[in-house]
Structure 1
Amino acid sequence: MRKILIYGGTTIVLILLAALLFIQVKGIPSYPVEKPPITLNTDSASLARGKKLASMLCASCHLNPDTRQLTGRPMVDAPKEFGEIHAPNITQHKTYGIGDWTEGEILFLLRTGIKRDGKYAPPYMAKLPLMADQDINAIIAFLKSNDRMVAAADIPDQPAKPSFLTKALTNTVFKPFPMPTAPIPMPDTSNAIELGGYLAKNLECFSCHSADFKSNDFLVPEHSEGYFGGGNKPLNEEGQVMPTPNLTPDKVTGIGNWSEEKFVKALKSGIKEGEPALRYPMKPYTELTDKEAAAIYKYLMSIPPISNKVERSPE
């Protein structure tokens, strides 16, 4: 009996080691690639909308402070557990950027997380499975435009070095999202809570302000652990953990006692009552209108409160 247990235990250990070795060697998984049809609207209003959204979504990772273009940069603020991350060049350069990507290939990546070579984009890359067709098309139109931010830049990418955890998660938990099977309309802008929810989800505010990047649900954001309750642990540029604050309407540990005016000012300017409200990696959303910022506030006031006291990192 003892020999059977020893043999059985040894077999389990060997199977586990083989599985770990397989994941390490296999790395990030690949999937079939599609090129969905897409028709872009390239009028001035669409391009302006696309630039606005890209400035809030793409630029936070891909904007290089030296080039002032979307040439990519080392992601020193990303959790170290995901490995060594470099945001790639997404300018119009045909070799180093996405200049020779088709609009459909960009759409497929943004919707599903699958790159044109079939590789899955790791969990730290923004994916937009719920964004309205009009908005995601505007982003793509901007990325394919002649705006200086995306003009072809002859700057090679630095390959990322995903950790074993990233490889394991992308082979088990994190999977590509399905392409939408029906049109996704824009939110009703006359309904503040609907508009605010749309922005809070599609600008990925919930991703940082929920409990943990690893437990976020991008298809049903409300199912994310600790939805908007804060406590996630992004890093600043010095590698210091910056726990995200609780944005639920809890009156003790959240923003339940904040006025709409205070919230809008903090979100758009980064200032509250004469002191900094936002610190890197969170930056002011200067691109938002007062109406949009107020709508986000109204949405946050409508979600269930979570009692979760998050201690602010020292200056």
Structure 2
Amino acid sequence: MTKNLSRARQARASVDALHARRRYRLATLAALFSLFALIVAWHEAQRPRHPRKDEMPIAQAHADDASEAADSSGTPTPAAAADLVKRGEYLARVGDCAACHTADKTRPFAGGLPIETPFGTLVTPNITPDPDTGIGQWTDEDFVRAMHEGIGKSGERLYPVFPYVEYTKLAEHDVLAIRAYLNSLAPIHYTPPHSSVKFPFDQRWLMAVWNMFNFSEERFVPDPKQSAEWNRGAYLVEGLAHCGECHTPRNATYGLKADSRLSGAVVRGSRAYNITPDKTSGVGGWSDEELERYLSTGATPGRPTATGAMARVVENSTQYLTREDLRSIVQYLRSVPAISGGETRAHGQ
């Protein structure tokens, strides 16, 4: 009898100890989560609440031109407004906005394109000026904030499949030109399907943590040691054209690997090749004329033809680039660090 009581007490003690260990683990996890939340909150509190001033010296010249093209009330003249829309259309093509925001060509820029990611399916939004289903009720400040900070109208964190990591480098006057162009489009009343993102990635606030490791809000600053053409190429490749989004491999958090920039990657089953100036693995053996022709037509004699995602980039975007911008892009690509290996194209492919 005594032995049975002793065993029962030992069993209860073991159960109590197990429960105590579980409570301790839960308390530890709760404490760690609270600390994590405090770090995120502190990071958010330190973030500037006002849009940063444009850091490109050329921006002031544009602002001066705009003021000269306005009437006494500050309203742009019809000719100036038309020029702004035309410039915005060109910039939207360089940024390849239609590629992601057009699922049905009868509804341009109305969104609805599903994009598969390791975290779920994201569906692109309607960016026509429809007031109910698009961005018709967005202010210019809302639009700039989304482009520069990755934050939507209601304060929600945007997923980085929208390349704000690169768009943050855009001069504000270029962002507003794109906005003016989008405002000129016919409003399309269409609500795209909801995105389907796995837990916990459906918690948008977690993007603040992702930003800590993969995003730095800053405008492009020209390098005074480089030519105007080189700086224009850097502005396009690293910013508006966001070439790295496809041509740079990802790290464990799905951010871009800085030490493998432009060395190629596989994106949603499509191969984006090494475009560094390595002569074996990259495009170092291509002439400037070959690269420019490839970007503008998708084909160069003796070289591979653009296929898949790159063919769509040429169709929707790079074929519309001016000769000056094509030359600038090529000049900049010549200057990036050459990387041997990466996602290379087999000979004759």
Task: Tell me, yes or no, if structure 1 residue 132 matches structure 2 residue 171.
Answer: yes
Q: Distance in 1 between matches of 2:283 and 2:107?
A: 34
Query: Which of these residues, 271, 289, 304, is aligned with residue 261 of structure 1?
Result: 289
Question: Deviation of residue 54 (structure 1)?
Answer: 1.4
How far off is 1:256 after superposition?
Answer: 0.6
User: Quick one: distance in 1 between partners of 2:146 and 2:270?
Assistant: 29
Deviates more, 1:160-169 or 1:298-307: 160-169
> 2:211 is matched with which residue?
174
Give the C-alpha shift of residue 234 in structure 1.
Answer: 1.4
Moved more, 33-42 or 266-275: 33-42
Aligned match of 1:104: 141
Partner of 1:89: 126
When you count helix as a share of all residues, which structure comes out higher?
2
- Contact 1:85 1:160 (8 Å CA) reproduced: yes
What 5-or-longer segments of structure 2 have no aligned partner? Answer: 1-13, 37-43, 54-62, 67-75
Counting only pairs closer than 5 Å after superposition, residues 8-47 of structure 1 correspond to structure 2 as 12=25, 43-47=81-85
SS at 2:271 equivalent: coil
Question: In the alignment, residue 155 of structure 2 is paired with which amino acid?
Answer: G
1:157 aligns with 2:192: yes
- The match for 2:72 is none
How far apart, CA to CA, are the structure 2 residues paired with 1:121 and 1:142? 22
Which moved further from structure 2: 292-301 or 60-69? 60-69
Q: Take 1:251 and 1:59, find their aligned partners in 2: how far apart are those partners?
A: 33
Distance 1:288 1:19 in 2: 50
Aligned to 1:64: 103
- State the 1:227 CA deviation: 0.5
Of residues 270, 273, 280 in structure 1, which corresponds to 2:298? 270
* Residue of structure 1 in register with 2:258 after alignment: 224
Superposition deviation, residue 109 in structure 1: 1.1
Counterpart of 2:91, as a letter, is L
- Which sits farther off after the overlay, 39-48 or 275-284? 39-48
Match of 2:323 among 280, 290, 294: 290
**1:122-169: CA deviation from partner (whole Å, max 9, x where unpaired):** 110121211112211211111222xxxx31112112111123364476
Flag structure 1 segments of 5+ consecutive residues without an equivalent: 24-30, 218-222, 236-240
Letter in 1 for 2:324: K
State which of 71, 77, 91 in structure 2 corresponds to 1:53.
91
CA distance in 1, matches of 2:20, 2:162: 43
Distance 2:118 2:162 in 1: 15
Closer, same or farther: CA 309–120 of 1 in aligned 2, 3 Å: closer
The corresponding residue for 2:335 is 302
Q: Does 1:201 align with 2:238?
A: yes
Letter in 2 for 1:300: L
Counting aligned pairs with the same residue, the percent is 26
Residues 163 and 245 in structure 2, CA contact (< 8 A), matched pair in contact too: no
CA RMSD of aligned residues (A): 3.9
- Counterpart code for 2:82: S
Q: Check conservation: 1:270, 1:277, Cα contact below 8 A.
A: yes
Structure 1 residue 305: deviation in Å? 0.6
CA distance in 1 between counterparts of 2:173 and 2:326 reads 20
Q: What is the DSSP-based 3-state SS (H/G/I as helix, E as strand, rest coil) of the residue aligned with 1:85?
A: strand
Structure-2 separation of matches of 1:187 and 1:292 = 17
TM-fit CA distance, 1:275: 6.6
Cα 1:13/1:276, change in 2 over 3 Å? farther
Could you state the TM-score of these two structures normalised by the residue count of structure 1?
0.76
- Kindly name which structure, 1 or 2, has the bigger radius of gyration based on alpha carbons: 2
C-alpha distance in 2, partners of 1:51/1:67? 18
Q: In 2, are the aligned partners of 1:111 and 1:177 still within 8 Å (CA)?
A: no
Letter in 2 for 1:228: L
Q: Which residue of 2 aligns with 1:122?
A: 159
8 Å CA contact 2:94–2:321 kept in 1: the answer is no
Given that residues 230 and 247 in structure 1 are in contact (C-alpha distance below 8 angstroms), is that contact kept between their aligned partners in structure 2?
yes
1:210 corresponds to 2:244: no
Q: Cα deviation per residue 1:38-69 (whole Å; 9 max; x = unaligned)?
A: 99865232211211121232212002333251
Superposed displacement of residue 179, structure 1 = 6.5
Q: CA offset at residue 84 of structure 1?
A: 1.2
Displacement of 1:173: 1.9
Name the CA shift for 1:51/1:187 in 2 (closer, same or farther; >3 Å).
farther
CA distance in 2, matches of 1:311, 1:37: 39
Alignment CA distance shift 1:103-1:5 (3 Å): same
> What is residue 181 of structure 2 aligned with on the other side?
142
Distance in 2 (CA, whole Å) between partners of 1:301 and 1:266 is 15
